[in-house]
Amino acid sequence: MLLSNSWIALALAAVVQVVTAQVPNLPTTTAQVPNPTPNPAPNPAPPIPSFTVVSNQRSTSYQYVENQLPTTPQTHEVIMVTGSSVMLISQLSNSVLLKASVDANGVVKDVGAFQIGSPNSRLHGLVNSQAYPGQVWVTLQEDNFLLRINPKVNDIQAPPTIEQTIMIQENLEGCKGADGAGVGCKGPHYVGEYGDELWTTLQDSSHVLRINHKNTSNYSVYKAQPRPIFIAKHPVNNMFYTGQDNSASVMKIDPTTGVTTQIPIPGSAGQTPVGMVSGPKGIWFTLLGTNTTGTGTFGHIGADDTIKYHKLNSTWGKDASLLHLGMDPDMDASHTIWLLSSSIVYAKALDSVIKVVFDANYETIVKEEVTALPTQECKAHRIWLTSTTVFATELTSAKVFAWSVLKSQKDTANDKEPSSASSLPLSHSLSLFAVTAWAMLPAIFTLL
């Protein structure tokens, strides 16, 4: 059962704001980055709908908002700049960086759009810098650049400035075979900062690059199988791991010895490892599945490289096509991981955000909660978490979905008990929603 766009449109009765994205003067760049060209003025953003679904089961109110962004074929990564209420979003198809101010409930209040490189530079990865607080590392996948930018969070319409440019030379040592044959280093996708070092996955040439951002002559290149997507450092054994989405394998890198090891993913678990993050006791990653099915499976890599696979069991989660994931900001107390299901390869997959609660040891799933995005077939792409809000980018619809808690159990301890009908478990209440206008809203289904 997919929620169609037309159903959702009929249900959106509350219009809270119109956001119009403006294109200010463009940022200047260093000599190594192509001179930017003006970004064509995007279409004015349509009204942003805001609506609330109340779960009487948990006496908690949630707000769901879809923020329309300047339209473009591919809206990719999203982060909140550390210590601010400013969100950065990369639009790969035109290499535009969006800078948006958002309120506590995830509603976008203002947007600025900035050309980074040329329209063909393929702006992609975004990560906050700890070495340079308030600044952000970005990747230009087509141009082979890593850039450190100051996003200028105090003024949404102020152009970001480029503070450092690292050009990835295609002929770096290790990029080609000993005989000089093979593909050079190309296509930085994701970048992560670890002290003085950057680790980036070179998706287009299937390499991983470690480079010191204070001394760029200090680097290492690791040949991967097709295609490394994300990379993360294990919190226990300090090794680095990358998922290779075209190879059904995870590569482990020992940064001390330079030795790499392939860890195959059995067909019984699934295929296409994509999202990967460091979390409780190890590395967590998602399996996207194929263009005909998802498997609702994600994995955990322990310190000894043993992988434990976790399978979703709820009606709306068991066949999910899991693309990305994030750890709850309060993960030590909440024991919660957030997953993103996407229609990016399997068109019939439910685009949804999935909350998974574990036991205290992160060994067993105790609860699942699936929230369908209002716009389906949007190829939901990335997830980002704050203490109050879950954000998800929608690749093809140029939107950011925001899921926030308005009222918690502790705030409603004295609320009136729900009626017998509304106190049904949500998994049973779905049939009631199906014959009312509530079916047109994002649905929450809970495995109890």
Question: What is the arithmetic mean of pLDDT over 413-420?
Answer: 35
Lowest mean pLDDT among 26-35, 109-118, 240-249: 26-35
CA distance 101 to 319: 35
Is 60 exceeded by the pLDDT of residue 31?
Answer: no
Mean pLDDT in residue range 419-425: 26
9: CB partners within 8 A, 6+ apart: none
pLDDT at 181 over 80: no
Whether 430 has a pLDDT exceeding 90, the answer reads no
Amino acid letter for position 69: L
| pLDDT confidence of residue 175 | 87
For the segment 426-434, the average pLDDT, to the nearest whole number, is 26
At 150, give phi and psi (nearest 5°): -100, 110
User: What integer pLDDT is reported at residue 356 of this predicted model?
Assistant: 97
Cα torsion 230, 330, 255, 167 to 10°: value is 50
Reported confidence tier of residue 171, pLDDT bands at 50, 70, 90:
confident
Q: Is the pLDDT of residue 20 over 80?
A: no
Query: Options 3.30.390.50, 2.130.10.10, 2.40.30.10, 3.40.50.300; which CATH number does 5-447 get?
Result: 2.130.10.10
CA–CA distance, 55 with 300 (Å, rounded to integer): 31
pLDDT at 439: 34
Q: What is the mean pLDDT of residues 304-319?
A: 96
Residue spans of the domains in the chain: they are 5-447
More confident position, 324 or 1: 324
pTM value is 0.83
The 10 Å CB-count burial string (b at 16+, else e) for 363-378 is eebeebbbbbbbbbbb
pLDDT per position as a tens digit, 382-414 = 999 999 999 999 999 999 999 987 755 444 444
By the 8 A CB rule, do 288 and 342 touch? yes
In a 3-state reduction of DSSP, which class is residue 108?
Answer: strand
Contacting residues for 259 by C-beta, under 8 A, at least 6 apart: 253
Whether residue 420 is predicted with pLDDT greater than 70 in this model: the reply is: no
pLDDT at 424 over 60: no
The pLDDT assigned to 434 comes to 26
Over residues 88-97, the pLDDT tens digits come to 999 999 999 9
Contact of 116 with 130, CB cutoff 8 Å: no
Q: What is the pLDDT of residue 340?
A: 98
Mean of all residue pLDDT scores within the chain: 82
pLDDT given at position 405: 79
Confidence of residue 189 (pLDDT cuts 50, 70, 90): very high
Tell me what the mean pLDDT of segment 188-193 comes to.
Answer: 98
pLDDT (0 to 100) of residue 145: 97
Q: What is the DSSP string of 39-102?
A: PPPPPPPPEEEEEEEEETTTTEEEEEEEEE----S-EEEEEEPTTSSEEEEEETTTTEEEEEEE
Euclidean distance between CA atoms 17 and 398, whole angstroms: 17
Percent of the chain with pLDDT over 90: 71
User: 63-84, pLDDT tens digit by residue?
Assistant: 889 999 999 999 999 999 999 9
Give yes or no for residue 29 having a pLDDT over 90. Answer: no
CB 306: neighbour CB atoms within 10 A? 10
Is pLDDT at 444 greater than 90 in this prediction?
A: no
pLDDT at 441: 45
Helix (H, G, I), strand (E, B) or coil at 244: strand
Say if residue 220's pLDDT is above 90: yes
Confidence of residue 174 (pLDDT cuts 50, 70, 90): confident
